[in-house]
Chain A
Amino acid sequence: MAKWGMVIDLDKCTGCTACTTACGMENNRLPGENWQDVLFYQEGEFPSGTMKWFPRPCMHCENASCVEVCPTRATYKDPEGGLVLIDWNKCIGCKYCMIACPYGVRFYTDEKAPIQPDVKQVFKGDGKRSWNPPWRAPENRDDWKHGVGVQPNGVVSKCTFCYHRITKAPKGTPDLDPNNPALREFTPACVVTCAPTARFFGDLDNPNSEVSKMIANQRGVRLRDHTGNKPQVYYLTGGAGGAIPTDRRDKKS
């Protein structure tokens, strides 16, 4: 069984937000409610201030706090691929998971539109879906048990690592490489679209997968590792050399 994970090379990421757009199209995201967001922020002040950016999907944490707090088990860890998913049939919209996620990756659609005009009013929902985007995927791809499709009202959603694509990949595939025509269809949309090839997707439990090697050889780091959530998304920051220990309980070698 795979433990799917992502590697994002920050040295290659140009902040173009193509991933955000691809994810929005693939998963019918509302403008401004991006499962795959790129955050922009400033560091320093004039004249030496710089603008930085940071791509941030759901980390599909190993110790996912969102799973533990969910009173209805609507948010769960999928045993097949190690994904964290939401069952929209069970979610009661208590939003505790949004409180407990250290990475701010979850969305409750039933709120004021962050970007005007409110497209929910332009493409009104049918009661089942919170809105009716003109480009949405075929009906039979809706999969509420895994939080795939147009988000219904009153529930929380987040990145699924493109559950509907990756679960179709042949079992045992170490890496879902979009450059391999046989695997492209099964690779998460953001990885497929990333122009500078900053994103990689593969099996973290397989030591021979490209992602495992990259994490090992290029010192992949995880965001806010002190929370103990153990994200399955790793970032490469270019540095070779010593690494800051992230968990004091790790064995000395």
Chain B
Amino acid sequence: MSNNASTMAAPSGLVNTVFLAGIAGAVISVVLVLASLMGEGHASFNTTSDGVVWGLPISNYLFFVIMSTGLTFVAAFGMVFGIKEFYPVAKRCVWLALATLLAGFASLAFELGHPFRMLWALPTSFQIYSPMNWMGVLYGAELVFIVWKMQKLNAGDWDSGVSKKLGMASFVAAILAVAMLGSVFGMMAMRPYWFGGMIPMYFLLSALLCGVALTVLISYIAYGFERNSMPPAMQDLFKGTTSTLYASIPVVFGTVIGITLVALTLRTATGLWSHQDGFQAFNWMVASPWFTIEAIALLAAFVMMMNPGMRAGQGAQIGAAVLVLVAMFIDRYLFVIGGQVVPVFKGAWVSGFVDYTPSLTEWMLVVMSISLCLAIYAFGEKKLRLTDAPSS
């Protein structure tokens, strides 16, 4: 197998625009966030000890780091499992996994009371019972493996022993990290809305969904929304004209949306059906207008990917990717907030839910993460030949 098959295309003008917009968005949002944090501290958030303590910045963190795992999955299709049809998106996915991971970490860093103290207090204390501790270890490992793997890929090393092992290690670390993140919530028996050993599985499933969606969206952006300028193998992957039926974007995307819809529906139905104290949060969830938007967006994306006349189309794929990303952003929000809307203590008697609307500063952290992610991605697109793939 020779390296660096020359599939290099000049980045489209759109990538330059994305880069500049990302930088501008990141600078503006970070300045605004720093200004309010230095002025008011975390009082600029709308989180309160009596109600929602983990707000939008945490659900934003979840959205990005879970997506990072999903991107590692998509990269692994080619690099770990040898499904060659996915080679054309592999390197881009590895880079995107890094971009999303950093975007998520940034949101968390601004949310913590003492982010710098964390750097020494976490490793020196090492509370083995804390899922959050393990989450830190595993995400740290994922970060190291991805950076290292990216460095190998960039040097044109796709299939040396070390490079393959790094691909495998990133894949395993990503699975364990997102599973542990699921356990941060899933182990909380005192909050039934979150509780359950299957929550990590749901995180893994939705990670793949988000990973595929971002792969689709960014791949089109990389080629200026012009599928015809993609390399032929990549066009096949997106059109579903590869020699292996399952190894195509529309099939994988449609399937994962479908399974996610089933999982979400059953989780919601179970929650609404049960009278267990704490499950009132499911009533809160379905009453939220965001839930309606999420459901419609996922259903629409599913219909688009199931419809034989639509699923191979560029417009439908971009549309479905955007719908899925919006829906999953909402999903993370409803998940994180939902576990806290039933007041832990008072909830045993009072049917009221906790009120929470994110503040401007909290929204700025979302803007920051999106901008950072786009800027880092576009930087890679310009400088790191993300289109590279092994030639065979």
Q: Chain A residues in contact with chain B, CB under 8 A?
A: 33, 39, 41-43, 52, 56, 65, 68-74, 90-96, 98-108, 110-114, 153-156, 224, 227-229
Contacts and interface: CB of A to CB of B under 8 A. Distances in A.
A155 B114 CA distance: 8
B113 interface: yes
Contact of B49 (A52, A65, A72, A107): A107
Interface of B: 41-43, 45-50, 53-54, 112-115, 117-118, 121-122, 125, 127, 129-133, 136, 184, 188-191, 339-340, 343-346, 348-350
A72 B118 contact: yes
A95 B113 CA distance: 9
Contacts of A112: 43, 46, 48
Given A101-B344, A227-B189, A91 B127 contact: no
Contacts of B340: 99
A68 B129 CA distance: 5
A156 B49 CA distance: 9
Nearest to A154: B113
| From A69, A93, A99, A113, residue with most partner B Cβ within 10 Å | A99
A135 to B, nearest CB: 22
Given A69-B131, A104-B344, A90 B117 contact: yes
A183 B289 CA distance: 58
Given A92-B115, A108-B113, A114 B127 contact: no
- What 7 A-B pairs are tightest by C-beta distance, nearest first? A93-B113, A154-B113, A102-B190, A71-B133, A72-B121, A73-B125, A104-B345
Given A93-B113, A99-B340, A102-B190, A71 B49 contact: no
Nearest to A73: B125
Chain A at the B interface: mostly helix, strand, loop or mixed? loop
B375 to A, nearest CB: 27
Contacts of A92: 112-115, 117-118, 121-122
A103 B43 CA distance: 23
A157 B230 CA distance: 56
A74 to B, nearest CB: 7
A30 to B, nearest CB: 10
Nearest to A107: B49
A71 B112 contact: no
19 contacts: A68-B130, A69-B129, A72-B118, A72-B121, A92-B114, A92-B118, A95-B53, A96-B130, A96-B132, A96-B184, A98-B49, A101-B344, A103-B344, A110-B42, A111-B45, A112-B43, A154-B112, A155-B113, A224-B345
A153 B41 contact: yes
B53 A99 contact: yes
Given A68-B129, A99-B191, 5 more contacts: A71-B133, A92-B122, A105-B345, A155-B114, A228-B189
Contacts of A224: 190, 345, 348
B326 to A, nearest CB: 26
A114 to B, nearest CB: 7
